[in-house]
Each structure stands twice: as C-alpha cells, then as structure tokens.
Structure 1
C-alpha cells in the first residue's frame, strides 16, 4: 500500500483529494502547512489559518487518517515574502502562488513528506499528469485540469520532472461542482466552504499595507499619457533578421514626465502594477485610468484612459536564459530554434497563439495578437495542446 501525504489546506478541494486517495487504497496522511501567522496584515475573519487548520483536522478525523500541522513560516518568509518585497522594490510584479508551489509545497513540504516515508504528495489542484516513454525513460506530462474554468496548471508551471514524479492530483479529472457534490455526500465540513482568495497561505491581505512593512511610502505623481502620444507611432522598418524584429516588438516604451499631464498623486510607484485600475483615486476622466507603466527610480506612475489604450499592449516578450524553465526538458529549444505554442501571461487568461524563438540570451514569446499588460516579474507559460511544457519570468 503506497503512502501519500496530502496537503490539507482546510478547503474543499484538498479534502476531496484526501477522500479519493483513501478510496483508491492509499495509506493517507494529512498535513496542514502553517506558512504565515502575522495577523496584522490579513483581513480579520477571512482565510485565517487557525480556522483552516481546524477544518483540515475535522476532515482528517472524518476520514480516519492521521493529521498534523507543520510550521513552514520561516521558509515561507525567506523564499516567498522576501522575494516579493525584492521584486516590488525593483518595479516588477511577482506571482507568489507560482513560487509557493515551486519552493514550498513541492520542495520543503515534499521533503518533509518523503521524511515521513511517503511515496507521493498530493494536493487539491485542478490539473492532471500522465507519463510517457521517451528514449527508454519515463517522462511526466503536466496537463490542464478537466474543468477548464478551474484549471490550475499555470500555477504549477515551474515544476520539474523530479517533482512531478512524486505528485498526485486526485481531482484533476473532476469539475468543481463534482468535487463539492462528493464533499457534501461524504458530509465533509468543507463541502460548502468558499474558495480562498488572496496570496498563497497568507490570505486576503491588503497588499499596499503588506508591502509597507518593508517598502516605505514615498509621494510621487500620476501622469496621464494620451493615446495620441508620439510614443506609439511606430515607423515602418526593415529588419536585417528575425531577432532584430523580435527585439523591436518586445521593447518597452520609455516614458518621460513631459509625455503627458500630471493628474494626481500616489504614495509609491512600487505599490502599483501594469494594467491596474483600482487605487489610483483619480476622477474626472471620460474613461477609467489604467496603469500603463511604473518608474520606481523616478517614482512616477504612467496611466492611460480606457482598457484599449495603446500603452497597455505589446506583441512580444522576452525571458532570459536563467529565468526560462522547461517542464519537458526533452522539448527545450536549441539555439535559433522556434516552436508554435499556445501561451498565457496570467491565470485564467484564455490561451493565445504564439511562437517561441530561442536566441543567445534567452527566448522570445511572439504572440499573434498584441497582449494587454505584459508585466515584468509575472510568469508566461506555454502549452502544446493541453500540456504545459515550459514557462519563464517575463523580463
């Protein structure tokens, strides 16, 4: 009987994952990860770890499986929270959920599980995996969940073959309504519990207040750049080669304060991200203002009116070699290689047609249509059909 340690989060998905594994004949152990306990930055009574831990414990009791809590808050602070602060300080927008899966759930937590004699760890993620034979060795494929509305493969885009070999995704073939139905039928306390929102394991935080713990407020101005700005008039160009063309389409517009008019003030450019609409507190415009860029050096936020403002759109992005990752190492592009893929730059974004081009310093992701709010520090993930084959941090 294979032993599986399930990350019981206190939610319905991991509860049903544990139930299904027990039904399949595995020896199941439930482990709750306590990764954050600074109550000063969470919104009270929403996603509190104590309540989640109690719910996880009650599910374990109902299923008749051993249960314990592990405190990973030191590792979480070092690997996730400090990384987040560093990225925001540089004017980039990190994705803590992707990092949490790579660094905490499927690294620190996985090692603890293996120390308990586990053959596998399991989570309540909506995704699937399978195994194929490639060159006489097993290769694991990370596949989208059956429920396209809940597919969480994007959050697992940094996993390795070694990690995948040790992971089970019991609910990947189910839809969310089916998961809730099973939980209700088995009378699990989490059956009707709302899905958690906010940062992985931190809860629903007030992000500016969270960031203000380390990044001090600093008064600056909000500049509105008109859609008719000269910055967006691209001349017709002849390119010597494909790489030159890609570099041209990937380059960011560099704004100056004189490119628009000052329309408001803010407390720190490092608290804002591209595409953001809320929190600007500027009224009197025909259409809502969106952040089109932030300059953390000069502490200026550049904005444009409306979701179709040209400052929001770019066709091509770049990932450096050291921030590119292939789940399918056997498919990694050689120098000067290219590959047709479908890609997304954020969770829940419908997959977009794109082509990867590998160059000396990294790889370009060239979309068929311009994408809104390509944001440095976020992850781009690329797929072949429903298989996630690689990802990278947007440079």
Structure 2
C-alpha cells in the first residue's frame, strides 16, 4: 500500500483528490500548508488561512485520514514574497503561483512529505501525468487537464522530472462540476465552497497595499501615446540574420515623454503592469487607457487608448539562457535549432501557434500572430499537443 501525502488546502479540489486516492487503495495523509501570518494586507474574510485549515481538518476527519498543519511561512516569505518585491522593484511582473508550485509545494512541501515516508505527493490541480519511454528510460509527462475550462498545467510549467516522478494529480481527468458532484455525494464540507482567488495560499491580497509594505509610493507622471505615433509606422529595418530580426521583434520600445502628452499622475510605476487598465484614475478619453510600458528608472507610465493599441502588441519574446526550462529534458534544443509549438503567455490564454528559436544566449519565441501585453517576469509555456514540455521567464 503506497503512501500519499495530499496538500489539503481547504478547497474542494484537494478534498476530492484525497477521497479518490483513498478509493484507489493508497494510504492517504492530509497536510495543510500555512504560508502566511500577516492578515493586515489580506482582504478581510476572503480565504483567511484559519477557515481553510479548519475545512481541511473537517475533510480529513470525514475521510478518516491523519492530518497535520505545517508552517512554511518563513520559506514562503523568503522564496516567494521577497522574490515578488524584488521583481516589482525592477519593473517586472512575477507569477507567484508558478513559483509557489516550483519552490514550495513541489520542493519544501514535497521534502517534508517524503520525510514522512510518502511515495508520492498529490494536489488538486487540473492536469494529468503521463509516462513515456526514451532510450529505455521512463520519462514523465505533464499533460493538460481534461477540463479545458479549468486546465492548470500552466501553473506547473516549472516542474522538473524529479518533481513529476513523485507527483499525482487525481482530479486531472475530471471536470469541475464532476468534482463538486463527488464532494456533494460524500457530504464534504468543501462541496460548495467558492474557488479561492489571489496569491497562492495567502488569499485575496490588496496588491498595492501589499507592495507598499516594501516599495514606497512616489509620485510620477502618466503619458498617453497616440496610436498614430510614427514609432508604430516606421519602416522595419532589414537584418542579416534571423537572430537580429527576432531581437528587433522582441525588443521593447524606448518611450520618451515627448512622444505623447501628460494625462495624469500615479503613486509609483512599480505598482503597474503592461496591459493593466484599472487603477490609472484617468478619465475623459473616448476609449479606456491601457498601460503599454512602465519605466521604473524615471518612474513614468506610458498608456494608449483601447485594447487594440499598437503599443500593446509584439510578435516575439526573449527568454534568457538561464531561464529556459525543459520539463522534457530529452527535447532540449541546441543552439541554432527550432521547434514548432503551441504556447501561452498567461493562464487561461488560448494556445497560440509559435516557433522556438534557440541561440547561444537564450531563446526567442516567435508567434504567428502578434500577442497583447507580453509582460516581463511572467512565464511563457510551450506545448506539443496536450503536453507541456517547457517554459521560461519572459525577459
């Protein structure tokens, strides 16, 4: 009888994951991760950890499985929160959920589970695990969840073969309504519980207030760049190499205040991200303003009107060599090699046709169609059919 430690979060997905494993004959242990102490920045009553840990305990009691809480708040602060502050300070937008899976759930948490004699760690993610053989060795695959509407493979895009080997995703073949139906049938307390939003295990956080703990507000100006600005309509240069052409496509436009007009003020460029519409507090424009660029050096925000503003779109992005990550290490590209894939630059985005171009200093991802709000610090993940084979941090 193999032993599985389930990360019980107090939500319906992990509750049903634990029940299904029990049905499959595993010895199941429930573990709740406490990752946060500071209630001053969470929005009151939205997913406080106390309520979640109580729900997790009730589920464990109902299923008759051992349960304990582990406090990982120190590691969480060091590996996730401090990293987030550092990234925002540089004017990048990190993805804490992807990091939380790589650094906490499938690393710190997994090590605790294995020290308890577990053979596997299981979570309530909507994704599936596959196996294939390459050169006589077992290779593990991360496959998208059967429920297209809930597929969460993107959040696990930074996992390694070692982490996948020890992971189980019991609800990956199910849809959300099926999961809720099982929970209702089993009379689990989490059956009708709303899905938690917000930072992985912290709950709903007021991001500006959260960031203001570390990053001081400072007044700056907001400029609007007209879509008729000549920078969008100048001739494309010709290049001698594919790499140079891709570098041009992936490069950020260097905006200057004189290219546009001042339309407002803000409290800190590091609180804003490309593609953001809310929180600018600038009215009186025919179409909504979107952030098209931020400059944390000069503390300036550049905006454009409407979701089809040319400043939002790019056809390529770059991932530095050290940030290119292959789940399927057997597929790693060598310098000069290319691969046709389907890719996404954010959770829930429809998969997009793209080509990977590996060079000495890193990888370019070139999209068939221009993509809106490619954001530094976020992750791009690439797929072959329904298998997520690799990912990287957008630089």
TM-score (norm 2): 1.00
Which residue in the other structure is 2:198 paired with?
198
Measured against aligned partners, the alpha-carbon deviations of 1:351-381 in whole angstroms (never above 9, x if no partner) come to 0000000011000000000000000000000
Which residue in the other structure is 1:212 paired with?
212
Find the aligned partners of 1:68 and 1:244 in 2 and give their Cα distance.
55
Which residue in the other structure is 1:167 paired with?
167
Which residue in the other structure is 1:329 paired with?
329
Which residue in the other structure is 1:244 paired with?
244
Find the aligned partners of 1:175 and 1:37 in 2 and give their Cα distance.
33
Which residue in the other structure is 2:296 paired with?
296
Measured against aligned partners, the alpha-carbon deviations of 1:301-349 in whole angstroms (never above 9, x if no partner) come to 0000000000000000000011110000000101100000000000000
Structure 2 residue runs without a partner (length 5+) = none
Match of 1:118, SS? coil
Find the aligned partners of 2:249 and 2:48 in 1 and give their Cα distance.
44
Match of 1:334, SS? coil
Which residue in the other structure is 2:257 paired with?
257
Match of 2:172, SS? coil
Which residue in the other structure is 1:235 paired with?
235
TM-score (norm 1): 1.00
Find the aligned partners of 2:58 and 2:238 in 1 and give their Cα distance.
66
Find the aligned partners of 1:372 and 1:37 in 2 and give their Cα distance.
36
Match of 1:287, SS? coil
**How far is the alpha carbon of 1:236 from its aligned partner?**
3.8
Find the aligned partners of 2:242 and 2:118 in 1 and give their Cα distance.
49
Match of 2:211, SS? helix
Q: 1:236 to 1:296 in 2, by over 3 A?
A: closer
Find the aligned partners of 1:380 and 1:35 in 2 and give their Cα distance.
26
Match of 2:367, SS? strand
Structure 1 residue runs without a partner (length 5+) = none
**How far is the alpha carbon of 1:234 from its aligned partner?**
3.4
Find the aligned partners of 1:78 and 1:181 in 2 and give their Cα distance.
38
Match of 1:78, SS? helix
Measured against aligned partners, the alpha-carbon deviations of 1:228-269 in whole angstroms (never above 9, x if no partner) come to 111212314332121111111111110001111110000000
Measured against aligned partners, the alpha-carbon deviations of 1:96-144 in whole angstroms (never above 9, x if no partner) come to 0000000000000000000000000000000001111110110000000
Match of 2:366, SS? strand
Which residue in the other structure is 1:354 paired with?
354
Find the aligned partners of 2:250 and 2:382 in 1 and give their Cα distance.
17
**How far is the alpha carbon of 1:31 from its aligned partner?**
0.2
Find the aligned partners of 1:130 and 1:356 in 2 and give their Cα distance.
23
* Greater mean alpha carbon deviation, residues 238-247 or residues 330-339: 238-247
Aligned length: 395
Which residue in the other structure is 2:58 paired with?
58
Find the aligned partners of 2:40 and 2:386 in 1 and give their Cα distance.
41
* Greater mean alpha carbon deviation, residues 234-243 or residues 328-337: 234-243
Find the aligned partners of 1:183 and 1:121 in 2 and give their Cα distance.
21
Which residue in the other structure is 1:21 paired with?
21
Which residue in the other structure is 1:88 paired with?
88
